[in-house]
Each structure stands twice: as structure tokens, then as C-alpha cells.
């Protein structure tokens, strides 16, 4: 019997690559694809896949939220496809769930696929689902404070320490992390990242900007009611009138 597979990733190129890699595994049958967690829920309920290759950071519902929405019913075997943080990676290693850390090669994919197929073949009752439910409970907060972010740069994963970030700008479904003369793109919305950042160190000053308060050199009131925020490296940002309530977090009441 074929192993029924669902591919979930919001990037079409990533889905294409997974489909191509799976083509060398004749024991699997791709029963569907989804571009976000909400769409994936519908496919899972309609097609009942045995195995899901699941991205974590997606619009609508992320990978964790999607699986939580399935709580109470048998879960498929999950292979996370992720550039997630160090805490999550260690948790995946502890539990009987595999992960692919982007970018990955064919050898790593084949190993993860074989592991997942073996899990599907060896499932007994709801034992595997119970194990994955325990994994989800462990991954969810409370978690240790975030100290660094994993970003892709030049085909490798780079760890960016929060203390090194000067300011963060929104770029659609990405954010741009600014560190002196360097910048990195992270596939996450500004709203989602704001929830993960320590509020005593990072302050939202506009719809599109978060600043590291330790990097702020001066504040100057502007005519329209906002403030010009100057960083130690000379970068000038704007605290909009809508966000004047954040002034105490920057040391000005």
C-alpha cells in the first residue's frame, strides 16, 4: 500500500522541489498540496494523508497552529520543513518526528523520508499521534526567552543575536533585520516577530518598524506629533503619532 503524502509550504518553488525529491520514492503517493495552514486543514480532512511535509512559518495558520487545530483526532506523521529556532530543533530531535532544516540536500531529504515512511508502516493504534501531541505541548510556550534568530543567507543558516540588531523593518511577509552595515531577510511578519521579541528590549515605533531601545541615541519631537528617533549609528527613524504611547518604553514620558 502506498504512503499518502501531503506537501504544505507557502512557497511554490519549495513545493516543487519536494515533489521532485519525492519522485524518487515510488512507495509514496502525493495526494495533495497546500500553500498555508488553513488550506492544509481542508486537505487533511478530505484526503487523510499518512505523512505531511509541513512548513512552520506560513500565512493564515502556521504549522503549529494547524496541528493544534487537529488536536483530538489521529495525526499523520509529520516531517517539519523549517528554519526554526534552536529550541524547536532540539525538541524535534528528542521526539519521533523528523525535520528538514532549510536549505537541505537530497541525502538529508531521503533520510528523513525513509524515517517517516518507517513510522507510517510501524504505527500501532494512536501511539504515534500521542507522541506527536506530547511534542507539540513541549514546543509551545512557556519557552526560554528568545536570544537569536535563524536566517538564510547565501545558501546557509546564519544565527543573528538579538543584541546585535539595531532595528527591524517590515517587508510584506518578511522582515528585514538591520545590524550596522548588514541586513538579513527573515520569512516572518512584523506582527508575529513582535510577539516573540522581549518587550523590554524591542519597541514598535510604527506600523512598519521595531527598534532596539539600547540603540536609541536621541528623540526629537516633530511638527506632526511624531518623533524622530536617531540611533547610535546615525540611522533616523520615525515614531509615528499613533505609537506615541510607546515613548515611556524608549525612556521618554
Distance of alpha carbon 243 from alpha carbon 224, whole angstroms? 13
Residue of higher predicted confidence among 88 and 191: 191
Residue 119's pLDDT band (cuts 50, 70, 90): confident
Provide the pLDDT for residue 38.
86
Residue intervals in the chain for CATH 3.40.50.2300: 3-139
pTM above 0.85, yes or no: no
Cβ–Cβ contacts within 10 Å for residue 35, how many?
19
Reported as a pLDDT band with limits 50, 70 and 90, residue 219 is very high
Q: What is the mean pLDDT of the chain?
A: 83
pLDDT score, position 177: 97
Is the distance from CB of 209 to CB of 167 less than 8 angstroms? yes
Q: What average pLDDT does this structure show over 104-125?
A: 85
User: Nearest 5°: phi and psi at 190?
Assistant: -65, -40
Q: Identify the residue whose cell numbers are 504611547.
A: 245
**Ordered alpha helix ranges (H), 48-98:** 63-69, 86-94
Peptide bond into 142 cis (omega under 30): yes
The superfamily (CATH) of domain 148-250 is LytTr DNA-binding domain (2.40.50.1020)
What CATH number has the domain spanning 3-139?
3.40.50.2300
Share of the chain above pLDDT 90, in %: 46
The answer on pLDDT for 223 being more than 80 is yes
For residue 88, what pLDDT band results from cuts at 50, 70 and 90? low
Residue 127 has pLDDT above 60, yes or no: no
| pLDDT at residue 89 in the model | 55
CATH code 2.40.50.1020 region(s) in the chain:
148-250
Check: CB of residue 5 under 8 Å from CB of residue 50. Answer: yes
- Segment 11-15 shows an average pLDDT of 91
- Spatial CB neighbours of 173, under 8 Å, sequence gap ≥ 6: 10, 59, 187, 188, 189
Amino acid at each position: 500500500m502506498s504512503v499518502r503524502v501531503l506537501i504544505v509550504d507557502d512557497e511554490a518553488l519549495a513545493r516543487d522541489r519536494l515533489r521532485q525529491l519525492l519522485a524518487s520514492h515510488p512507495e509514496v503517493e502525493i495526494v495533495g498540496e497546500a500553500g498555508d495552514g488553513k488550506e492544509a486543514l481542508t486537505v487533511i480532512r478530505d484526503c487523510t494523508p499518512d505523512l505531511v511535509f509541513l512548513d512552520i512559518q506560513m500565512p493564515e495558520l502556521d504549522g503549529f497552529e494547524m496541528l493544534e487545530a487537529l488536536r483530538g483526532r489521529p495525526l499523520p506523521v509529520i516531517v517539519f520543513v523549517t528554519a526554526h529556532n534552536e529550541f524547536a530543533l532540539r525538541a524535534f530531535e528528542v521526539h519521533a518526528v523528523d525535520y528538514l532544516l532549510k536549505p537541505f540536500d537530497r541525502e538529508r531529504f531521503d533520510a528523513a523520508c525513509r524515517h517517516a515512511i518507517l513510522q507510517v508502516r510501524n504505527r500501532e493504534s494512536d501511539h504515534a499521534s500521542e507522541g506527536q501531541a506530547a511534542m507539540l505541548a513541549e514546543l509551545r510556550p512557556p519557552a526560554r526567552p528568545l536570544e537569536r534568530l535563524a536566517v538564510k543567507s547565501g545558501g546557509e543558516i546564519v544565527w543573528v543575536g538579538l543584541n546585535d540588531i539595531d532595528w527591524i523593518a517590515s517587508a510584506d511577509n518578511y522582515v528585514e533585520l538591520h545590524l550596522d552595515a548588514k541586513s538579513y531577510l527573515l520569512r516572518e511578519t512584523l506582527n508575529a516577530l513582535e510577539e516573540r521579541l522581549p518587550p523590554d528590549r524591542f519597541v514598535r515605533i510604527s506600523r512598519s518598524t521595531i527598534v532596539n531601545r539600547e540603540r536609541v541615541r536621541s528623540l526629537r519631537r516633530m511638527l506632526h506629533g511624531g518623533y524622530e528617533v536617531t540611533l547610535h549609528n546615525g540611522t533616523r527613524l520615525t515614531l509615528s503619532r499613533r505609537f506615541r504611547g510607546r515613548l515611556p518604553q524608549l525612556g521618554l514620558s
